[in-house]
Amino acid sequence: MATLETLNFDNSYTRLPEHFYQRVNPVPLKQPFLIALNSDIARLLDLDPASLNPYDLAQCFSGNRLLPGSEPVAMKYTGHQFGVYNPDLGDGRGLLLGEVVNRDNQRWDLHLKGSGKTVYSRFADGRAVLRSSIREYLASVAMQGLGIPTTQALALIGSEELAMRDGMMEPCAALLRVTQSHIRFGHFEHFYYSKQHDDLKRLADYCLVRYFPQFLNAGQPYLCMYREVVTRSAELVAKWQAYGFVHGVLNTDNMSIIGETFDYGPYSFMDQYKPNMVSNQNDHRGRYAFNKQPDMVHWNLSALGQALSSLVDQDELLAELNRFPDLYQSFEIAEFRKRLGLQSELSEDSALVAQLLKMFSNQALDMNRFFRALSEFDYQEGESDKLEDLVSNKTELKNWLSAYKKRLEKEVASYPIRSAQMKSVNPEYILRNYMAQEAINLAADGDFSLIEELIELLRNPGIKNNKMHHYAASPPSWAGSICLTCSS
């Protein structure tokens, strides 16, 4: 096992030309303290969680002490924000501390979010506040627990330092983000729009070696890479749609090249299914509404395709991009088949799902509670009380259930087998905004206990937790009044 001092750093990104980034040390955070440590992620880095002490963790992951082997850099990228190209982006409040290669030869980026100003900070302070850092920490675990690709977080560090947000002073925090890639679509856009085509090729080669080595010897490696990014992104957004997840800020600088959910800001899991739900109050035109996410990911992929057009023939890129709508649909139906317990693939399934989503929308249902209850619906017994309790229009439910029953008759699996399979994908608990808000409210009074408890709950969201079972119930009425913005 490694210690913080002997982490196996090997920083491939810093071997790229110096203008790919700015070398800069973190600005120390005042009186840092450890709030939470994710043991699973510690082990991923070959760290023994039991050997780590809170003081050292707080020093190292607040940027106050540099780890041996770490070479902090702020990455340069640009991107389209709300559809408008912004050439001035880059890591304005985060630093890539370096890459750790573990015993299984996996390479993990360690990125410190909230690490102080860089040349890309523009007018802002380089910090992250506690509220948004708690939300990102919880979301990483919740998404992982649902099997949705996501960045991870090793540690959450609190501080006595304050920052101004929306006219109020708030405590600062730092989050140590861990993932195999911090390369965003916007990294490619930077080199494309600044006409640095050799560097664009360098970046693409870097990605091929590190993330897509299977294409290195292909006839057209860059095209294969793009094809893979299109596929992964389609699968990712299909999962978001299947679980009612609204990202909130789907700008191209928040799109990961390896297809993970990246950069948690004003996200939500919908308590009530409202297709045009906008999670970010600053998104006045609803560009990133729930039902627009597939189109927005498609749009972002077209921006990436444009950026790759000096490397690959544009018509060939376009042909790959045009696969997106069908790909998305096939991933989406696959997700819903799992949630409905359907093993066989019949063409009629699309209509069944469409009818279900229409009912969710007509009655603003809680889709995640519905699917959990449906996992315990034995159609041969005909008991649908639990489902009826969740809806307001019982006739609409009965109509849908009769179509669902007919469909289930074509399945071979027996009820117990189907129910177990459904429960494995239909969680008892989902990270609702009010749960994160409760943890944030307690944290404001210095009580961080709920963060760890929620992490335990969300790591295995399908397993009943007697102590925390109230989180399986309907959210409290104040949940609807939570207001989320870009401010973080």
Shortest approach of ligand AMP to residue 174 CB, angstroms? Answer: 12
Cα–Cα distance for residue pair 331/327, rounded to 1 Å:
6
Q: How many CA atoms lie within 13 A of 15 on its CB side?
A: 6
Kindly tell me which residue out of 46, 109, 125, 228 binds ligand AMP, with binding defined by CB under 6 A: 125
Binding partner of residue 121 among Mg ion, ligand AMP, none, CB cut-off 5 to 8 Å per kind? ligand AMP
Binding partner of residue 186 among ligand AMP, Mg ion, none, CB cut-off 5 to 8 Å per kind? none
Our finding on whether 127 is near ligand AMP (CB under 6 A) is yes
Kindly tell me which residue out of 64, 180, 254, 426 binds Mg ion, with binding defined by CB under 5 A: 254
Single out the segment in contact with ligand AMP by CB under 6 A; choices: 62-70, 120-128, 195-203, 435-443.
Answer: 120-128
Kindly tell me which residue out of 99, 136, 260, 263 binds ligand AMP, with binding defined by CB under 6 A: 263
**Torsion on CA atoms 407, 413, 414, 419, rounded to nearest 10:** -80
Our finding on whether 417 is near ligand AMP (CB under 6 A) is no
Among residues 80 and 369, whose Cβ is nearest to ligand AMP?
A: 80
Single out the segment in contact with ligand AMP by CB under 6 A; choices: 121-129, 216-224, 233-241, 348-356.
Answer: 121-129
CA distances from 20 to 52, 63, 75, 224, 418 (A): 33, 22, 6, 24, 51
Q: Do 328 and 214 touch, CB atoms closer than 8 A?
A: no
Which residue out of 91, 125, 253, 366 is catalytically annotated? 253
Shortest approach of ligand AMP to residue 173 CB, angstroms? Answer: 12
**Mind spelling out the 3-state secondary structure of 125-189?**
CCCEEHHHHHHHHHHHHHHHHHCCCECEEEEEEEEEEEEEECCEEEEEEEEEEEECCCCEHHHHH
Q: Do 432 and 475 touch, CB atoms closer than 8 A?
A: yes
Query: Which residues have C-beta within 8 Å of that of residue 399, sequence separation ≥ 6?
Result: 355
Question: Can you say whether residue 236 is alpha, beta or left, with left for phi > 0 and alpha for psi between -120 and 50 degrees?
Answer: alpha
Instruction: Count other C-beta atoms under 10 Å from residue 339's C-beta.
Output: 22
Three-point CA angle 168, 171, 174, nearest 5°? 135
Structure tokens at 145: 């627990």
Binding partner of residue 93 among Mg ion, ligand AMP, none, CB cut-off 5 to 8 Å per kind? ligand AMP
Our finding on whether 124 is near ligand AMP (CB under 6 A) is yes
Single out the segment in contact with ligand AMP by CB under 6 A; choices: 28-36, 61-69, 124-132, 133-141.
Answer: 124-132
Among residues 116 and 145, whose Cβ is nearest to ligand AMP?
A: 116
By CB under 5 A, the count of residues binding Mg ion is 2
Annotated active-site residue 315? The verdict is no
Kindly tell me which residue out of 46, 91, 228, 366 binds ligand AMP, with binding defined by CB under 6 A: 91
Kindly tell me which residue out of 63, 90, 259, 427 binds ligand AMP, with binding defined by CB under 6 A: 90
Our finding on whether 366 is near Mg ion (CB under 5 A) is no
Our finding on whether 266 is near ligand AMP (CB under 6 A) is no
Cα–Cα distance for residue pair 282/289, rounded to 1 Å:
12
Single out the segment in contact with ligand AMP by CB under 6 A; choices: 125-133, 303-311, 357-365, 466-474.
Answer: 125-133
Kindly tell me which residue out of 91, 263, 271, 320 binds Mg ion, with binding defined by CB under 5 A: 263
Kindly tell me which residue out of 133, 254, 256, 426 binds ligand AMP, with binding defined by CB under 6 A: 254
Cα–Cα distance for residue pair 10/97, rounded to 1 Å:
11
Among residues 182 and 423, whose Cβ is nearest to ligand AMP?
A: 182
Q: Do 149 and 139 touch, CB atoms closer than 8 A?
A: no
Cα–Cα distance for residue pair 150/143, rounded to 1 Å:
6
Binding site residues, ligand AMP, CB under 6 A = 89-93, 120-121, 124-127, 249, 254, 263, 265, 486
Catalytic residues: 253
Binding site residues, Mg ion, CB under 5 A = 254, 263
